[in-house]
Structure 1
Amino acid sequence: DDRLRVRGVAGLRVIDASVMPRITSGNTNAPTVMIAEQGADFIRRNAA
């Protein structure tokens, strides 16, 4: 889903380039780092 959670599996998130709906023609490193930062924020907010 939009919060990187895996449907049907409690407590599991996918935080990598596979969550991009379309792969860009350029380097995917920067967008993947941004996805990881957002995923870390989701996890931190849920833990608090």
Structure 2
Amino acid sequence: IIFEDQIHYTIVKNTTFNGIKLPDLVLLKENGEIKMIREFGYEEYKRRN
């Protein structure tokens, strides 16, 4: 599923409520290349809680 132009809705109010992992942020370029922008792992969860 691709939701285009939605980063302004998703990155500002993200939460790890109830231990739910945040989704990774990736960029799909016009040439089809996928670039990892940010990965949220356990260290991020621990920092936030």
- TM-score norm. by structure 1 comes to 0.33
- TM-score norm. by structure 2 comes to 0.33
Flag the structure with higher strand content: 2
- Choose between structure 1 and 2 for higher RCO, CA contacts under 8 A separated by at least 6 residues: 1
Structure of greater Rg: 2
Flag the structure with higher helix content: 1
